[in-house]
Structure 1
């Protein structure tokens, strides 16, 4: 059973009591909502969008569509959101790459500190570096040994070129003094297909769960600062002292100026979702950790992360 089927089965089994948020219905009752997604369909970002979209559709009877705009490290979706009307009909899935990293590396038509409303995050995720289970690269030190012995011979990919995992991994390789070859793909699913087909050596992506469960991949290191739930023996970039190790999460954001009634409505919807068995199934499927941040905390987390990454990239000579 794939990840989509797991969530569909959980929804069908019940556990979604009707809660219409009557107090806010008069001020915010959209006929439809679109959530833009900066990654290709079929990956962890798709699943994170689907779980909240399906909850709102089934619980509040509001159709929520998903608009996939992969490419450019998620910045296409972020640009679309920044230009949207702040009426609650267009939101976007939050991920760190287009908000925290990309504006430091390229010219983007939006300002992460001014052009978005940070509604709330609802899951923390791991973005590990992994190989095929039959790879001769048994551990992270083996990866570095191979890269030193074969300059530019190690071929690897991520779900989002120039995203947070890409830059963090490049920074790790630079710290170790090795040269590798990055192979761009439009999404994690495509990259993993190339990995399983033997076309590349490794992938850095949050889309590892089903493949780990099936025994087809082996995790070597986590690019973020925290250990992966249930896998304490997998080292982290932070534990190795690498310059960039950023916690990753998914959440919802809107354009700047989103009314408080809209923010509160979606916050309540996220809170409702978090109390369902569907949410627990989602966490198990995505191998995520619950992180229910309110707008103020979420905004502070994003802004602090943006500034910290800017300092790190400038120190590495990578900031534009």
Structure 2
């Protein structure tokens, strides 16, 4: 997201604040906390951290401050959160890569299944498989049929090699007995540029919004388990029974052993937030879909997804 668009988006979210009202405004037990973000300011993760920070400030008077610590795909910041005091003074923005994917591909000093408190998730990110609007593939099944008949001729890419979208789509292809050629790019923008230039056939990425609005791409399938809220006419990896259909989502997590009353405070605040106009505007900005998981469900999802991803990484032969 370019800086001007980002500033417009955050201004929109902040402007929604005074219209909000909280049904529960008990004092936060740990003063004003920091929300660590393992990525650079100015992107979707920045907005995801600010929407919850804006909400608790406007409704509960809590000054939760985003703290940007980019580097090593978020793994450095994740380990800093692991080592923080579990008193609610340090939280972090949850994203899939550093917690559920990276530990299978590189050495990290944490165990994602036991070293963190998963507080709540609050937004799903649509990560569809898409082609050019003039592509001969009008559906996911047409693309699969071509790839079966012409092994390795289908060229595809994702925003991040060995990321969740890559692992999930590779697993789907293997289940469908498809052999395709993965083309690595440094980011989603580069992959989409190659798609629009006719150099590859398909991209799996969240970087589709402006191109869909412009009519230059066609969505064929959705890697996350709940695309119907945003894109009701496309195939879901979950409904096809593919091995990986894990929500790429945003949420909050913290150090291990956080007190139940602090976790409950954030659960209540986020449960309120997802009913507001601020939240609806946020989802439009990130091309996301509604998602809310309390701590127990969030924890179970993360642990199960960690195992599922590990098995597919093993099958792909890319484990460290």
Q: How does 1:55-204 map to 2 (within 5 A)?
A: 55-59=55-59, 60=61, 62-67=63-68, 69=70, 71-72=72-73, 74-144=74-144, 145=146, 149=150, 151=152, 154-158=155-159, 160-175=160-175, 176-186=177-187, 188-189=188-189, 191-193=191-193, 195-196=195-196, 200-204=200-204
Per the TM alignment, residue 274 of structure 1 is displaced from its structure 2 partner at its CA by 2.1
RMSD: 3.4
Distance 1:230 1:23 in 2: 34
- Residue 46 of structure 1: aligned partner: 46
For the 8 Å contact 1:148–1:179, the answer to whether it is kept is no
For the 8 Å contact 1:169–1:223, the answer to whether it is kept is yes
Distance 1:200 1:230 in 2: 26
For the 8 Å contact 2:151–2:179, the answer to whether it is kept is no
- Residue 234 of structure 1: aligned partner: 234
Tell me the secondary structure at the aligned position of residue 99 of structure 2.
helix
Per the TM alignment, residue 221 of structure 1 is displaced from its structure 2 partner at its CA by 1.1
Deviates more, 1:264-273 or 1:295-304: 264-273
Relative to structure 1, the CA distance from residue 218 to residue 71 in structure 2 (aligned partners, 3 Å threshold; closer, same or farther) is: farther
Pick the aligned partner of 1:11 from 10, 14, 18: 14
Distance 1:110 1:77 in 2: 11
Per the TM alignment, residue 312 of structure 1 is displaced from its structure 2 partner at its CA by 5.1
Distance 1:124 1:290 in 2: 6
Q: What TM-score, normalized to structure 1?
A: 0.80
User: Are positions 1:212 and 2:212 aligned together?
Assistant: yes
User: Are positions 1:291 and 2:294 aligned together?
Assistant: no
For the 8 Å contact 1:157–1:185, the answer to whether it is kept is no
- Residue 282 of structure 2: aligned partner: 282
Q: What TM-score, normalized to structure 2?
A: 0.80
For the 8 Å contact 1:44–1:207, the answer to whether it is kept is no
Q: Show structure 1 runs of 5+ residues with no match.
A: none
For the 8 Å contact 1:93–1:251, the answer to whether it is kept is yes
Q: Show structure 2 runs of 5+ residues with no match.
A: none
Per the TM alignment, residue 120 of structure 1 is displaced from its structure 2 partner at its CA by 0.4
Relative to structure 1, the CA distance from residue 114 to residue 182 in structure 2 (aligned partners, 3 Å threshold; closer, same or farther) is: same
